[in-house]
Amino acid sequence: MGICRDMGTQPKQATKLGGNRATLFVYATEGLENMAFIANALSLVVYFYGYMNFSLTKSATTLTNLMGTAFLLTLVGGFISDTYLSRFKTCVLFVCVELLGYVLLTVQAHFHQLRPFPCNDVAPNKRSQCESVDSGQEAILYTGLYLLALGTGGVKAALPALGADQFDEKDPKEAASLSSFFNWFLFSLTIGAIVGVTLVVWISTNQGWDWGFAVSTIAVLLAVLFLCMGKSLYRNNVPKGSPLLRVLQVFVAAIQNRKLAISESAEELHEIHDKEAGVSNEILQRTDQFRFLDRAAIIKGNADAAASITSRPWRLCTVTQVEETKILLRMLPIIISTIFMNTCLAQLQTFSIQQSTTMNTHILGLKVPGPSLPVIPLAFMFVLIPIYDRFFVPLARRITGIPTGIRHLQRIGVGLVLSAISMAVAGAVETRRKTVAIEHNMVDSIEPLPITVFWLGFQYAIFGAADMFTFVGLLEFFYAESSAGMKSLGTAISMCSLAFGYYTSTVVVEVVNKVSGGWLASNNLNRDKLNYFYYLLSGLSVVNFVFYLLCASWYRYKKVEVEESNSKDNTEMARI
């Protein structure tokens, strides 16, 4: 943490902390960190295949497993942020871990003795003759990769919550700014990704992978510096203890009180109305779902008896604590129903990149690296996000009266529909690509096919719009619906949709190969049946959308009653 120790300025009053000025540093941090992360997320499959001599399938599964682990590790960052460290300190810690991972990958890519002799120009049917990666080289690779995964996981859990903390969601004026924050957070992410998939990928392709990893290292170093520059402006959370422990206490108390009758009277349920000076409490109102958990808050005896056991939270919990647990349970079906969309995303980040290596990548005399193709959906998002935030949201807000224009769950649903369409288009494009390979007798050739790589832009563009709706919808939904004591964990849970999507991708590929007799097993896309696989994903996406509709219609938004002290200048947001 010493890197940030001397970067603060003169202390400011709490009322002057936060706001749009503070989020500028969050945007810069996210843009730089994501520039490195996305550039490598989209191009590492080429590095694994051509320079580490992995097979086609192992290259794809190694990348999807890495991405899945990175997003799953957001739970670690979210837990630490809510329980032990402020969000700012959590971000600094994990950015430094990520920086170490990039340094290790740079060193391996630079020194030839740390990796096998490259096999990137060998025909697919002669790959068995390539030098295999040895155990020591593989250990260095995986250490660097998973340091990167741990670091970016912690950042992606704590950084969005840090930015959102700069606005008071209970203030109607700041609530609209909070909604815009998530849109502009995605915008900064998009700008970083555009630079990553163009400049960084070009450097990796033309100057060497060591240069590409070095640029990523510098970007992450700048990210932590920008994060620290805003230190004196941030509002930050005071950790409230383990949210997972509070959830466990509710289940234990409910089981202990399982023989008690559930009362309809709120007076018989325990709640703390703390009006201590300088404290603002979020009081969650009782809901009618998961009523068996209400037993955890039943007061046995009179109020004095309740007061005597309040210090024993495994015996008696507050209504707010019970509702915090219910919120977590209600969120699970939503996150499950969005996993499959990210399974489709994983296919675009692996198989589509491999498709591009078989196609003509020249345009206007310039050769465009295959991993740079995702700039197409990113360009669409770059244009669509400002239009959505500045035109659609205000118009919808006037119609619906909702600060976000439409509800979070409606926004997620739009993205799921677009995802299904994208997979159908991907199947049609792959059918066209294979037809060209057959017509020109180039099925086993390593030469590029006479079909432009920008055919892949159609599926990417549609999925880019889908991602704009679903990613921000999930992020904002989980932040808004999470209780005050688990905001970071809430954003981490939204990232778990991506994690399980990548893991499911690996499973889906293996299952489809086994059931279909090898649609994706020939190590040659011109002989594989990738188009059938895309059509299958499109059909399953439709089924998944129906499941999502059922989950969304069942969900109940939380109801908050806020009790504040007379001192409005003091909040639970503390300076670092």
CA 531 to mean position of chain CA atoms:
27
pLDDT at 571: 40
pLDDT at 310: 52
Contacts of 398 (CB under 8 A, 6+ apart): none
- Closest CA relative to residue 278, chosen from 576, 575, 15, 564: 564
Segment-wise mean pLDDT, segments of 10 residues, the chain, 576 residues: 49 61 92 90 81 77 83 88 88 94 91 76 59 80 92 91 83 73 90 90 86 93 93 82 85 86 72 51 78 83 52 79 87 90 82 83 74 78 88 86 83 93 93 90 83 86 88 86 81 83 82 86 83 93 94 82 45 42
pTM of the predicted model as reported, rounded to 2 decimal places: 0.79
Query: At residue 381, what are phi and psi to the nearest 5 degrees?
Result: -65, -35
H/E segment holding residue 363: strand 362-363
The domains of the chain, with CATH numbers, are 2-239+328-558 (1.20.1250.20), 243-317 (no CATH)
Q: Which residue reads 């402020």 in tokens?
A: 86
DSSP states along 132-153: PPPHHHHHHHHHHHHHHHHHHH
CA distances, 366 to each of 189, 361, 374, 376 (Å): 26, 8, 17, 16
CA distance linking residue 555 with residue 557, whole number of Å: 7
pLDDT at 278: 40
pLDDT at 217: 94
- Closest CA relative to residue 466, chosen from 566, 356, 541: 541
Contacts of 524 (CB under 8 A, 6+ apart): 124, 125, 443, 444
- Closest CA relative to residue 460, chosen from 352, 357, 386: 352
